[in-house]
Amino acid sequence: MNLESEELNMGKIPEWIYAPTNFSPELEKMFAAVEKALGFKLFIWQKTFIANTTYRRSGRTTAEILRDLLNVSKPPLDYTKPVADHMERIYREETREIKAKLDAAGIPTRTVFFTGQEKQKYYREAETGQQKKNIIPEFTPEYGKRIWL
């Protein structure tokens, strides 16, 4: 696969990085003055972090999901129990979407149970020896390299 910047859209800066904010007029004036003094625009997450000490669109959830999914030597993730809140539902939906994309690209991912049927099938296949291992050999300890996740 050729990973040129055009294919990954790295040549274009997404508009949301500089998205408008809804802070007080005083804070907006302060940010404008800071940007003028520094000579560059602040990203939306920088402004939000300064104003609120947190920011939701930094990519942390994606990184956490990738860490979980790419750690294929770990036991399956079990998401068969009902979600506790709205954020857990969103996390599971994102996990499902990212896993589907990685699987479609042929990237080995950790087993995830989204339904009871998936869980039952997995353990049924494990009992009969039909369970295929989803491990990348070059990342396992027996090949002399430590697990990277």
- For residue 105, with 0-12 CB atoms within 10 Å meaning exposed, 13-18 middle and 19 or more buried, which class applies? exposed
State the pLDDT confidence band at 58, using cuts at 50, 70 and 90: low
Q: What is the pLDDT of residue 57?
A: 63
DSSP, collapsed to helix, strand or coil, labels residue 56 as coil
Q: What is the pLDDT of residue 19?
A: 84
- For residue 65, with 0-12 CB atoms within 10 Å meaning exposed, 13-18 middle and 19 or more buried, which class applies? buried
In the chain, the amino acid numbered 51 is: A
pLDDT in tens, 77-133: 999 999 999 989 999 999 999 999 999 999 999 999 999 999 999 999 888 877 665
Rounded to a whole number of angstroms, the distance between the first and last alpha carbons of the chain is: 24
Q: What is the pLDDT of residue 25?
A: 92
Token duo for residue 87: 């954020």
The residue count for the chain: 149
- Of residues 71, 67, 43, the one with CA closest to residue 57: 43
pLDDT in tens, 15-36: 888 888 888 999 999 999 999 9
Token duo for residue 52: 């609120």
Gap between the Cα atoms of 7 and 4, Å rounded: 5
